[in-house]
Amino acid sequence: MDLFDLQWHRLLEDLVTVAVAFVLALPLGWHREGGKIRAGLRTFPVVAMAACGFALIARYDPTSSAETRARILQGIITGVGFIGGGAILKRGDNVQGVVTAASIWNTGAIGVAVAYARLEIAIVLSLINFVSLILLTPMIDDDTST
């Protein structure tokens, strides 16, 4: 394929796919935006979108082997984990941001699920994460849940 031989149908399909990953991550980012650790409304959708993009590259590259695709997915998992790790803060005996970090990691999984046309998995991951944040946060008495 020539660099300028753009496949417009594929472009539209990929745009919709990445947009779905972005939208499914928005509720998680919205919820986390109000916490003490400000990784939220922009971070979560961008992580989902990027994970989706990398997974689309792995999925549709005609020259990639199963091993190459596995390495790309491994890189996504590691990279998103690294981003989430940046949300974890330790102050004395208090650790904050673990839930935010786990939610960021889940957002990467949402992006990959969308890229692999497993929308049902992406929706379930998004819903369960969001419902957990909404329902379980009030059950925590201290400030370590962020």
For 34-97, where are the alpha helices, taking DSSP H only? 43-60, 66-85
The model's pLDDT over 92-137, given as tens digits with 9 standing for 90+, comes to: 888 888 989 999 999 999 999 999 999 999 999 999 999 999 898 7
Spatial distance between the Cα atoms of 13 and 29, rounded to a whole number of angstroms: 24
The model's pLDDT over 78-93, given as tens digits with 9 standing for 90+, comes to: 999 999 998 888 888 8
SS3 content of the chain, % helix, strand, coil (to 5): 70, 5, 25
Location of structure tokens 């949300």: 87
Spatial distance between the Cα atoms of 133 and 8, rounded to a whole number of angstroms: 39
What's the pTM value of the predicted model, to 2 decimals?
0.85
